[in-house]
A and B are shown apart, each in its own frame.
Chain A
Amino acid sequence: MNHFLLAAALILSASAAMACETVTIGDLTVEHAWSKATIGAGRPGVFYVEITNTGSTDDALVGIATPAAGMPMLHETVVQDGIASMPHAMSIPVPAGQSVQLSPGGYHGMLMGLTNALKEGDSFPVTLSFEKAGEVTVNVDVLSLRAEGPDCADAGQ
């Protein structure tokens, strides 16, 4: 499932435009996959993406896998009564006809056990597993630590 050589090649061939790529699987469109640079590999990284379900059947993101991290996991940042915590998200609903965003302050992929520090300009693959649509791999751009998201021409649609 993990093509490590391909993964290594992808990490080396960083392209700034990858976050703006759109990948589709069935009725799902996956785009704007990005991450933030990390200071060293000892702290977890993060993964953000936008998923649109153009079909008429609800789906759900149930897991992520990547050669970039030993323990990738889905989390949701919750601010409740003024306290922020980030419990695991067993699955992230992608309802029919709707878009869901993994974005700062909400759902995110938590990349624990990083293989290497994530450097701005790098990219790495993440395979998303959906309950119904199955698996799809996207290339994730590593943006700066201060980035708020990828700068795509079609962003904000």
Chain B
Amino acid sequence: MRLRSLQIILWVAATAAVLAFAAVRWWPATDDTQAAASVFTPAFALADSEGRIRTTEEFRGKFLLVFFGFTSCPDVCPTTLSEVAQVMDDLGSDAGSAQPVFISIDPERDRRLGLADYTKAFHPAILGLAGSEAETQAAAASFKIFYEREADTASQGGYTMAHSPGLYLIGPDGAWLRQFTYGTPAAEILSDLQSRL
């Protein structure tokens, strides 16, 4: 009887410790409530500017900073890419432990306009990917993000894109870590990353 109640107490204590650890581990890192509870492994398999298929698996061991956007987006997209570029600059000798990835949600047009020229203009480390429509939809779905082509006769090409403008952090094991909402300053992204290195 004694032993059993001791066992119960130990189990309760152990469970509490695990929960406390989990809370400390995940709570401060997650400002996006909908992402807080979910542990999942987003994946992509998309062509780079040279037509080679790049997958999430090849980046295991590194942090991935993933942004979905399109290059005909002069307002929102450059802000996030500039922040990512700043983070890569400021990581200094740790830059090798993070891989920034720009996934085009307007892949056909972006391939035509030149994806690498665009990403390199922000930072040479940023990898630009533009797959097929189906591959792009699969990638977006696995990141649980939304994008949509909106008909717009007044826009260049007759359409524009609406999309989730967040920046997504994936851990070295491939698991989703958190979202940085649009407008998060580079310094905040940097210190979050550094705390995990």
Query: Which A residues are closer than 8 A to B by beta carbons?
Result: 36-40, 42-46, 71, 73, 75, 77, 79, 82-86, 88, 104-105, 108, 110-113, 145-148
In the complex, chain B residues 65-113 whose Cβ is within 8 Å of any chain A Cβ: 71-72, 74-76, 78-79, 82, 85-86, 113
Among B78, B160, B183, the residue within 8 A (CB) of A85 is B160
Chain B residues whose C-beta falls within 8 Å of the C-beta of A86 in the assembled complex: 75-76, 160
B155:A77 contact, CB within 8 angstroms? no
Instruction: Kindly supply a per-residue 1/0 record for chain B positions 162-186, scoring 1 wherever the CB is within 8 Å of any chain A CB and 0 otherwise.
Output: 1111100000000000000011000
Chain B residues whose C-beta falls within 8 Å of the C-beta of A145 in the assembled complex: 78, 82, 121-122
B162:A45 contact, CB within 8 angstroms? no
The main secondary structure of chain B at its interface with chain A is mixed
A83:B164 contact, CB within 8 angstroms? yes
User: How many pairs of A and B residues are in contact by the CB < 8 Å rule?
Assistant: 85
- In the complex, given contacts A39-B71, A105-B76, what are 20 additional A-B residue pairs having Cβ atoms less than 8 angstroms apart? A39-B114, A39-B121, A40-B114, A42-B113, A43-B72, A43-B113, A44-B156, A46-B78, A71-B154, A71-B156, A73-B154, A77-B76, A79-B182, A82-B146, A85-B150, A104-B75, A112-B155, A145-B121, A145-B122, A147-B82
